[in-house]
């Protein structure tokens, strides 16, 4: 064994050796996860947040209702004028409008359930 390989083996042994003295417990920069919890009282002006969310809810419901109405019109008028592609698109728009209306309308109930306030 050459002297270079012995020096390399000794350096590797020193680098992989356990530190002395051994560290005790978590270090000084650790996070105490038991003290972290959500505090709803720390949210500034929560009534503004709920007002904005209710406004977005109504905008979403009206947009979904508009998509449903537009799809209904395209589905009904398409065959009259021989535009079967518009009729098919109107039918798919109606389904999408209904599904989006259910999703937007039930979002507040789902969030209330997930937050545990139901």
Q: Tell me the per-residue pLDDT of 98-109, one tens digit each, with 9 for 90 and over.
A: 888 777 777 777
**What is the pLDDT averaged over residues 21-48?**
68
In this prediction, residue 81 carries a pLDDT of 81
Neighbours of 97 (CB within 10 A): 20
Entry pTM: 0.48
Element housing 41 (H / E): none
Q: Is the pLDDT of residue 118 over 50?
A: no
Element housing 68 (H / E): helix 46-77
**Percent helix, strand and coil across the chain, each rounded to 5?**
70, 0, 30
Helix (H, G, I), strand (E, B) or coil at 55: helix
């Amino acid at each position: 064994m050459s002297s270079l390989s012995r020096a390399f083996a000794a350096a590797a042994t020193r680098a992989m050796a356990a530190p002395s003295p051994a560290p005790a417990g978590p270090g000084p920069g650790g996070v105490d996860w038991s003290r972290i919890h959500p505090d709803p009282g720390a949210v500034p002006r929560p009534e503004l947040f709920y007002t904005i969310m209710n406004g977005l809810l109504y905008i979403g419901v009206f947009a979904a209702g508009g998509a449903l109405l537009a799809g209904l019109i395209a589905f009904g008028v398409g065959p009259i004028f021989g535009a079967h592609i518009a009729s098919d698109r109107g039918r798919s728009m109606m389904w999408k409008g209904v599904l989006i209306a259910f999703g937007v309308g039930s979002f507040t109930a789902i969030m209330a359930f997930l937050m545990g306030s139901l």
